[in-house]
Amino acid sequence: MEPGNLVGKTLAGCRLIASVARGSMGEVFKGVHEALQRPVAVKVVPIASQEKDAVDRLLLEARALAKIEHPNIVHVYDVGVQESLFYIVMQFLEGTTLKARFEESGAMPVDEVYSVVGGIASGLRAMHDEGLVHRDLKMENVILTTEGRAKIMDFGLVRDSGAKDEYQGRVVGTPPYIPPEIWLGRAPDGRSDLYSLGVILYALLCGVYPFKAKGAKEYRELHLKAVPKNPVEVVPEIGDDLAAVTLKLLSRDRGRRYGTVAEFLKDFEDCRRGKAPEALKNTGRKIRCGFCESIMPAGTKKCTVCHEALDVPAVIGLQDRTDEVPCPACGEPRDRRSRACPRCGQGICGNCLRGAVVREGLCAECLAIG
């Protein structure tokens, strides 16, 4: 068979009926499994007999996919070589790529973001549990089915911890999504996939990528040296919770990212339920007690003033309330009308409501004037 004109041909018992995608590594066809009479997707890559390394890499991709049965990962049915054509027979999915959806509609509604990104993360967790790192997670490699389910596909750069890494020390992937450690030639791990997931989450929330560049060299500089704009500065409705989670995924130092997908999903689910995520501890933001409205550092479990639980706090920026001023003693925010700081107990001048009480309920400045 000659590659490039396979429609109507039969490969691996599958009749190829239409080309649906084409890339540098081959072509994907919609086909019909003739024995089972069910639709399939067939990825076809032309190879030469001497290209043993290429065949080994393709087999690694197929075996990696075949190891996992998960609702958020495309299923593999068969793999092999026929007449100098390497093929992978996979589940055929009706739908569109996440990239096509993004280019058409931009930012997603937050409820849909929870569903789509949560699904991608669940698929990643299944991969990581099998010792696999995707290494090329991007919107083009996620398909949204007609039911709205996200499924990860195309494992062409997958790394299997139990096999030799053919790409060791090389910068591989797609520039907008490549994490800093890969740009530096270091070995990827699960946190590298989480960085790429952070790029997807940022784009779906904000309608723009965290970094935009003209080429690989410029992307490298941005990923290694720049800090993404806080998502709430792009779309204020996102809120501090999701913004903190997104920025933690995009930490340059992978030691500051989530250690596992499970940790990310815990914070992500807390955001969905209106609880403050653990990621807020690293943002310098504050939370307000829902009972006495005292201001506490993010991540505090109980209010130190009234001792009520802070399990569903309202996350705020201190500049958001004009009726709050810093305590003259401890510097923590307090209501400008209060006569004592709820944090440290320092009395506030009853005349100017600004200075700390020295005696007789007045601050030193007001006593001097009097």
Tens digits of residue pLDDT in 255-304: 999 999 999 999 999 999 988 888 887 665 666 676 666 666 666 777 77
Long-range contacts of 296-304, Cβ-Cβ distance < 8 Å, separation of 24 or more: 304/343
Q: Measure Cα distances from 102 to 143, 264, 309 in Å.
A: 12, 23, 40
Q: Are 280 and 299 in contact (CB under 8 A)?
A: yes
- Strands in 295-297's sheet, in edge-to-edge order, are 295-297, 286-288, 314-316
160: annotated active-site residue: no
Which residue is catalytic, options 56, 111, 136, 253?
136
pLDDT at position 317 is: 44
Tell me if 174 sits within 8 A of 192, measured CB to CB: no
Interval 134-151: pLDDT, tens = 888 999 989 999 998 999
Domains 10-91 and 95-282 agree in fold? no
Backbone angles phi, psi at 190, to 5 degrees: -60, -30
3-state secondary structure of 204: helix
User: What is the greatest pairwise CA distance in the chain?
Assistant: 101
3-state DSSP assignment of residue 252: coil
Question: What dotted CATH number matches 95-282?
Answer: 1.10.510.10
pLDDT at 361: 78
Structural domain spans, the chain: 10-91, 95-282
CATH architecture of 10-91: 2-Layer Sandwich (3.30)
Q: If the chain, 370 residues long, is cut into consecutive pieces of 10 residues, what is the mean pLDDT of each piece?
A: 74 91 77 92 76 68 76 87 85 91 95 96 92 88 92 72 60 85 89 96 97 93 93 92 95 94 96 88 66 66 76 46 69 74 80 79 73
pTM above 0.95, yes or no: no
Give pLDDT, residue 363: 81
